[in-house]
Structure 1
Amino acid sequence: MTSAPAAAIDAGERIRSAGLRVTDSRRAVLDALGIRPHASADELFALVAESVPHTSLQSVYNALGDFVDAGLVRRIEPAGRPGLFELRVDDNHHHLICSGCGAVQDVDCVVGPAPCLTPSDAHGFTVQVAEVTFWGVCPDCAATSR
């Protein structure tokens, strides 16, 4: 589904191609994710409310749920943090998260084909996806602490 970068494809076209009805709120949520990847629903709501003032936080949550179900958006759930959403759904990448400021960066798979990691014993499971979260301190936080 990803022959062009997410930002290069019109939000309405992406929503329609996923079989969803295009609304102002849905379009604004997808556009906001293009501006602010790895955003929480609250952060996205703040952006969406600027362009669609009549929207609600619930409609942002509904749109995100629909997008996750349709495969347009990926939800990541870092331990101890609110769920975050991103448009990068076409690969099995991982994340670096700063334990200081919460900044999130994508990390491509380190080795091998998806699912990137092979467990030593899969216990009969057919592994489809591996999620790895690297926690550390970003360069800005490291510089501040010196």
Structure 2
Amino acid sequence: MTVPDGQAAAEAAVVLRSAGLRVTGPRRSVLVWLARHPHSTAEAVRTGVCAELGSVSHQAVYDVLAACVAAGLVRSIQPAGHPARFERRVADNHHHLVCRGCGRTEDVDCLAGSAPCLAPGEDHRFAVDEAEIIFWGRCPACSAAFPAPRTGTERES
């Protein structure tokens, strides 16, 4: 069920205030956009916010994202070789599956147990509070478009 824009904006304003952030149009729009489009790049967020508010600078979007990440309202995911992606799902310790071809990113719930899902063999006396796992592969569309090359180790049936 999609929440009406007015209600989503009101909920975003409450979230911003509760984090001690000033409520602005760009901040509200970024939170609403990310709630509906998780794993968006900064450029995708800017495009979505511009569609709603008109012209918004790249720098304004980066500033909003940085403030929301610092306040714990948004999570930044930075898969190697791909642009950073942002999401609103911050209240748990989930992981991600990233397509090597197109960069499509999907959530993967915690592997087992409570946060952190995995404990390092040696913690070097760190107080570990999060385990970030990225699973890599190809999404169905990229798998169909670009089949994996044969390695010579597959068995013939």
- Fold-level similarity (TM above 0.5): yes
RMSD: 1.6
Please name the residue that 2:70 is paired with: 69
**Residue 117 in structure 1 maps to residue 118 in structure 2:** yes
Where do 1:1-146 residues align within 5 Å?
10-146=11-147
- Higher RCO (Cα < 8 Å, 6 or more apart): 1
Return the alpha-carbon distance in structure 2 between the equivalents of residues 8 and 137 of structure 1: 35
Work out the number of aligned pairs and report it.
Answer: 140
- Decide which structure has the larger Cα Rg and report it: 2
Residue 8 of structure 1: how far off its partner (Å) = 9.9
Return the alpha-carbon distance in structure 2 between the equivalents of residues 40 and 99 of structure 1: 16
Residue 67 of structure 1: how far off its partner (Å) = 0.5
Residue 36 of structure 1: how far off its partner (Å) = 1.3
Secondary structure of the equivalent of 2:101?
A: coil
Mark the CA change 1:76 to 1:116 in structure 2 (over 3 Å): closer, same or farther: same
Contact 2:65 2:74 in 1 (8 A): yes
Deviations 1:78-114 (A, max 9, x none): 0011111000000010000000111100001111110
Contact 2:9 2:32 in 1 (8 A): no
Residue 144 of structure 1: how far off its partner (Å) = 2.6
Residue 52 of structure 1: how far off its partner (Å) = 1.0
Mark the CA change 1:83 to 1:112 in structure 2 (over 3 Å): closer, same or farther: same
Q: Mind listing any 5+ residue stretches in structure 1 that lack a counterpart?
A: 1-6
Contact 2:40 2:85 in 1 (8 A): yes
Query: Greater CA deviation, 22-31 or 120-129?
Result: 120-129
Secondary structure of the equivalent of 1:50?
A: helix
Secondary structure of the equivalent of 2:131?
A: coil
User: What TM-score does the superposition give when structure 2 sets the normalisation length?
Assistant: 0.84
User: What TM-score does the superposition give when structure 1 sets the normalisation length?
Assistant: 0.90
- Name the amino acid aligned to 1:54: S
Return the alpha-carbon distance in structure 2 between the equivalents of residues 124 and 9 of structure 1: 43
Deviations 1:55-80 (A, max 9, x none): 21111111111101111000111001
- Name the amino acid aligned to 1:75: S
Flag as ranges the 4+ runs of structure 1 deviating above 3 A: none
